[in-house]
C-alpha cells in the first residue's frame, strides 16, 4: 500500500534530522531564546524582505490559529472565514473554546472574496441592533485553501483593502504555504503576504519539518505581548530550539521552496493522468492536493494499492477523493499511481 492520503505520513527532510543530531548535546537557553531560533527568524525576515517582522515558532496549526485569533479578537468579536475553513470545520471548536464565534461565509472553492467581507461588515455595522450580534473582528483565510486552491494577487489585494477599510486584521493560515509558493500558478510570494496580511504563518509540519509553524506578524498591535499568548495556550516549547533548528534548515538555500516544488510537480503528473483518463476534477487545484470524482469501480480499482482520502459521497453515487503528494513522495510511487490511473 502506498500512501497518498495526506502530507504528513513521513518524518522530516533528512537535512533537518542531521542538524538535530549535530546539535543534540549543545546547551542552549530555553523557550526560543537560543541562536537557532534567532537565525531562523532572521532568514524568514530576509525571505519576506522586511526587518520589522516578529516571528514566533509554534508547534501546530490548530495551536497557531487559536493563539493568533485569541490575540487578535476582543470578546465580542468573531472571525470571518470560508465555511470550509479549517477553523470552522476541523479544530473541534478550538476558536469557540477561546470564546469567539467563527463567522462562516459561503464558498465553493475554499476562497472568500472582498465583496463578501464588505457586504458582511456593512450589514453588521449599519444595523440598528449591531450589539445583539457578534462583531466581525478579523478575517481568516487559508492559502492554499483546504481545497488546494490559491488566491490571485488581485484577490488578496482587494481582500486586504476591504479588511483595512473595516478595521479587520487579515490572518492567513499557511499550513501548506510551501506548496502554494512553489505552484507554477502562484502570484503571491512571501513579501506580498507580509505586505497584505497583518499576520500569517508558514507551515512546517506538512512542508518538510517534523512539526512546527512560523507565525509572522507585521501588525504592531499584535506584536505586543504575543509570547504571553503562546505560553498561555501551551505553545511555548521548553526546548524551543527544536523549532528554530527546523526552520533554520528549511530557510537555508531555498530548501523550503525546492522540496515543495518537487511535490507540486508530482501532483501535476497525477492530475494529468486523471484528466487523460477522463476522470473529472472536484476542485481545480494547482498545488499538492488534488481532488477528483471517482466512480465506485474506479475507487475500488485504485484502492487496491493506493491509500487516498474520501472527500464525501456525491448524490449520484460517485465519490470525491483527495490525493496528496509531499516533500517525501517518491517518483516511483507517482509512476506506479500514474500507471494504475491509465489502466482504469
Interface with a second copy in residues 107-166 (CB under 8 A) = 129-135
Q: Could you say whether residue 24 binds a second copy (CB under 8 A)?
A: yes
Q: Could you say whether residue 258 binds a second copy (CB under 8 A)?
A: no
Q: Could you say whether residue 12 binds a second copy (CB under 8 A)?
A: yes
Query: Is residue 311 within 8 Å of residue 291, measured between CB atoms?
Result: yes
Return all residues near 25 (Cβ < 8 A) that are at least 6 apart.
none
**Contact flags string 171-210 toward a second copy, x per CB under 8 A:** ----------------------------------xx---x
Q: Beta strand 319-324 with 289-294: parallel, antiparallel or unpaired?
A: antiparallel
Helix, strand, coil shares of the chain, percent, nearest 5, are: 45, 20, 40
Among 230, 260, 302, 337, binds a second copy (CB under 8 A): 230
258 versus 310: smaller Cβ distance to a second copy: 310
Which cell goes with 97? Answer: 473554546
Q: Could you say whether residue 268 binds a second copy (CB under 8 A)?
A: no
3-state secondary structure string across 127-160: CCCHHHCCEEEEEEEECCCCCCCCCCHHHHHHHH
Among 169, 235, 244, 286, binds a second copy (CB under 8 A): 235
Q: Could you say whether residue 220 binds a second copy (CB under 8 A)?
A: no
Return all residues near 215 (Cβ < 8 A) that are at least 6 apart.
55, 56, 57, 58, 64, 67, 68, 199, 200, 201, 226
Stretch that binds a second copy, among 67-75, 194-202, 252-260, 335-343 (CB under 8 A): 67-75
Query: Is residue 191 within 8 Å of residue 48, measured between CB atoms?
Result: yes
Pick the closest to residue 224 from 54, 91, 29 (CA basis): 54
Among 46, 49, 52, 93, binds a second copy (CB under 8 A): 93
Q: Could you say whether residue 225 binds a second copy (CB under 8 A)?
A: yes
Among 66, 111, 186, 289, binds a second copy (CB under 8 A): 66
Q: How far is the CB of 335 from a second copy (least distance, A)?
A: 17
Query: Is residue 85 within 8 Å of residue 142, measured between CB atoms?
Result: yes
* Total of residues contacting a second copy (CB under 8 A): 73
Task: Note the Cα 134 to chain centre separation in Å.
Answer: 26
Among 15, 53, 70, 277, binds a second copy (CB under 8 A): 70
Among 122, 164, 239, 272, binds a second copy (CB under 8 A): 239
Among 167, 184, 234, 254, binds a second copy (CB under 8 A): 234
Q: How far is the CB of 76 from a second copy (least distance, A)?
A: 4
Amino acid at each position: 500500500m502506498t500512501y497518498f492520503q495526506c502530507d504528513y505520513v513521513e518524518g522530516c527532510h533528512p537535512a533537518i534530522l542531521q542538524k538535530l543530531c549535530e546539535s543534540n548535546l549543545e546547551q542552549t537557553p530555553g523557550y526560543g531564546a537560543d541562536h537557532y531560533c534567532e537565525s531562523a527568524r532572521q532568514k524568514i525576515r530576509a525571505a519576506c524582505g522586511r526587518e520589522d517582522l516578529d516571528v514566533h515558532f509554534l508547534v501546530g496549526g490548530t495551536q497557531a490559529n487559536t493563539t493568533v485569533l485569541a490575540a487578535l479578537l476582543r470578546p465580542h468579536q468573531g472571525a470571518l472565514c470560508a465555511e470550509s475553513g479549517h477553523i470552522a470545520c476541523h479544530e473541534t471548536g478550538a476558536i469557540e473554546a477561546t470564546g469567539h464565534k467563527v463567522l462562516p461565509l459561503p464558498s465553493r472553492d475554499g476562497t472568500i472574496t472582498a465583496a463578501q467581507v464588505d457586504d458582511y461588515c456593512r450589514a453588521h455595522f449599519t444595523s440598528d441592533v449591531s450589539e445583539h450580534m457578534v462583531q466581525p473582528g478579523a478575517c481568516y483565510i487559508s492559502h492554499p485553501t483546504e481545497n488546494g486552491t490559491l488566491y490571485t494577487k488581485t484577490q488578496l489585494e482587494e481582500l486586504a483593502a476591504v479588511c483595512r477599510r473595516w478595521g479587520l486584521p487579515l490572518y492567513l493560515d499557511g499550513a501548506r504555504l510551501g506548496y502554494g509558493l512553489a505552484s507554477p500558478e502562484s502570484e503571491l510570494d512571501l513579501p506580498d503576504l507580509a505586505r497584505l496580511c497583518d499576520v500569517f504563518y508558514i507551515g512546517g509540519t506538512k512542508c518538510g519539518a517534523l512539526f512546527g509553524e512560523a507565525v509572522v506578524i507585521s501588525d504592531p498591535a499584535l506584536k505586543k505581548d504575543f509570547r504571553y499568548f503562546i505560553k498561555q495556550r501551551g505553545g511555548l516549547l521548553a526546548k524551543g530550539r527544536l523549532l528554530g533548528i527546523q526552520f533554520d534548515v528549511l530557510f537555508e538555500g531555498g530548501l523550503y521552496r525546492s522540496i515543495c516544488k518537487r511535490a507540486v510537480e508530482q501532483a501535476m503528473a497525477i492530475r494529468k493522468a486523471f484528466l487523460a483518463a477522463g476522470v473529472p476534477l472536484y476542485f481545480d487545484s494547482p498545488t499538492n492536493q488534488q481532488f477528483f470524482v471517482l466512480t465506485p469501480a474506479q475507487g475500488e480499482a485504485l484502492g487496491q494499492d493506493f491509500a487516498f482520502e474520501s472527500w464525501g459521497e456525491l448524490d449520484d453515487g460517485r465519490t470525491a477523493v483527495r490525493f496528496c503528494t509531499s516533500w517525501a513522495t517518491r517518483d516511483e510511487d507517482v509512476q506506479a499511481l500514474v500507471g494504475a490511473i491509465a489502466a482504469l
